[in-house]
């Protein structure tokens, strides 16, 4: 898999940063070439204009924004989903990475 970019969106980007670290470790273990980063919801639109993003995962605390992200990203062919609340709470980087990879691969 060539480098893919996964953007995680949450309220402030703080709690999700820990999840990014765990996802990166899981990606290394699996030999995947991915760029994963977390960003606050307020900054997400700017980041989408700056970088090529392959998939967007929303933290459970911003699940109410799913529809607006889908409307914005569907024309660009960028899939959007909500991170499973249990996986988020347990900081299960491997499962969240698997979710993102499955979304990228369609």
Which residues participate in catalysis according to the annotation?
Answer: 10
| Nearby residues of 90 by Cβ (< 8 Å), 6 or more positions away | none
Instruction: Say if CB 83 and CB 59 are below 8 A apart.
Output: yes
* C-alpha to C-alpha distances, 9 to 15, 43, 98, nearest whole angstrom: 10, 9, 17
Spatial distance between the Cα atoms of 98 and 40, rounded to a whole number of angstroms? 22
């Amino acid at each position: 898999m060539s480098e893919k970019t996964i953007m995680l969106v949450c309220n402030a980007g703080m709690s999700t940063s820990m999840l990014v670290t765990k996802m990166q470790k899981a990606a290394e273990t699996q030999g995947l070439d991915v760029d994963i980063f977390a960003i606050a919801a307020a900054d997400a639109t700017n980041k989408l204009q700056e970088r090529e993003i392959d998939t967007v995962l929303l933290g459970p605390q911003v699940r109410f924004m799913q529809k607006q992200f889908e409307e914005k990203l569907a024309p660009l062919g960028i899939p959007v989903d909500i991170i499973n609340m249990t996986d988020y709470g347990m900081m299960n980087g491997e499962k969240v990475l698997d979710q993102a990879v499955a979304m990228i691969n369609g």
